Amino acid sequence: MNKPYPNTHVGRVALITGAAGALGSHFARRLAESGCDLALTDLTMPQATIESLADTGVRIYADAVDLADADAVARFADDVLGHFGQCDILVNNAAYMPLIPFDALTLDEFRRFEAINVESALVFAQKLSPKMKERQYGRIVQIGSSTTGDPRPGFAGYITTKMAGIGLVRALAAEFGSSGITVNAIHPGLTATESSRKHLPPALFDAVKELQLIKRTEVPEDLVGVLAFLTSEEAGFITGQALNVDGGTQF
């Protein structure tokens, strides 16, 4: 009789950005239940997420970090390595995504999109990859967006920087291919969270749902299994890929 697959997350440490939000808290729960210790950050301390994980028994290190501040990002990465001695999984989940009309998009505002959605991922990779290389194990997952394939007015800053994030995934996959580190992206469809419901009109959720083969609005629970797989040992031969998890959206 075949043995069950081992729980390959036990003994791993995962850093998750945007941990105070719905996606981040769901990702944290899934990886904690798989045995990961966690490093969590958001613009404010993700206290509710931390408290929700008390029953898992995993170790948690957390701090509030503005991802637009590259120095703060670098300090947090160093603090995580200092606390745990390792970081095996990086989930770049945080995103800056206000809906801004193109005529109102200032260069300063665009640079905040860049800093949070792209530059923070670069800094984290630079700081964490040496230890991953040393251990010959690393999983980096960038949370992308299906809007890169279905651009809409008002999303210029968001779509541009999300597309840049995919370029970074492919570049880092090439950089780390011989080091035991994989780098991939997950492209969710429009996902119902407190933040997305706040920033986006209800009509948009209805319109997107009609483009999907699965005719319901995506929720965070639709994404956690894919993240668990891509961060596991079983996904060790997958890198440089962007996996659409969007209900079969037909553009």
Q: Which residues pair with 241 in a beta bridge?
A: none
Calpha distance 142→162 (Å, rounded): 9
Calpha distance 221→242 (Å, rounded): 19
Helix (H) or strand (E) run with residue 6 in it:
none
Q: Is 61 a catalytic residue?
A: no
Q: 61, 96, 137, 158: which one is catalytic? A: 158
DSSP one-letter string for 96-124: ------GGG--HHHHHHHHIIIIIHHHHH
Buried b or exposed e, range 47-72, using 16+ CB within 10 angstroms: eebbeebeebebebbbbebbbbbeeb
Calpha distance 61→50 (Å, rounded): 9
Residue numbers annotated as active site? 158
